[in-house]
């Protein structure tokens, strides 16, 4: 299957993937990755007040919850010849809260 979008990841996400994901997260990540190839706009964009502190330079932000209290977030932007989807976060909700400046539970 040829992806409809160029799919990439930040160095932090690549490092996380190399370490391996928890068993309950791995199949959900594979499903999300396939969905991002087909249509990365399948969820409504987040309000910029949610992500601007953590990612000042990205044009938009979307996220999905994964099993085991994990979350993934990505941005979509234009490149020559199409669009690129970059996964900018993959980790636990606690890590997400800390990165985005939310109070952790």
- Domains of the chain, earliest start first: 6-100 (3.30.2310)
What's the pTM value of the predicted model, to 2 decimals?
Answer: 0.88
- Burial code of 67-91, b = ≥16 C-beta within 10 A, e = fewer? eebbbbbbbbeeeeeeebbbbbbbb
Q: What is the pLDDT of residues 36-85, one digit of tens each?
A: 999 999 999 998 888 888 888 888 999 999 999 999 999 998 888 888 99
- For the cut 80, the answer to whether the pLDDT of residue 2 exceeds it is no
- pLDDT of amino acid 105: 56
The Cβ-side half-sphere exposure at 11, using a 13 Å CA radius, reads 0
In this prediction, residues 77-102 reach a mean pLDDT of 90
């Amino acid at each position: 299957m040829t992806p409809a979008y160029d799919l990439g990841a930040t160095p932090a996400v690549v490092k996380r993937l190399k370490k391996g994901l928890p068993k309950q997260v791995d199949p959900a990540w594979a499903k999300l990755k396939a969905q991002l190839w087909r249509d990365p706009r399948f969820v409504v964009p987040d309000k910029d007040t949610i992500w601007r502190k953590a990612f000042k330079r990205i044009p938009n932000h979307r996220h999905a919850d994964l099993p085991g209290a994990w979350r993934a977030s990505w941005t979509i932007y234009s490149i020559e010849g199409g669009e690129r989807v970059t996964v900018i976060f993959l980790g636990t909700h606690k890590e997400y809260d800390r990165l985005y400046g939310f109070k952790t539970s």
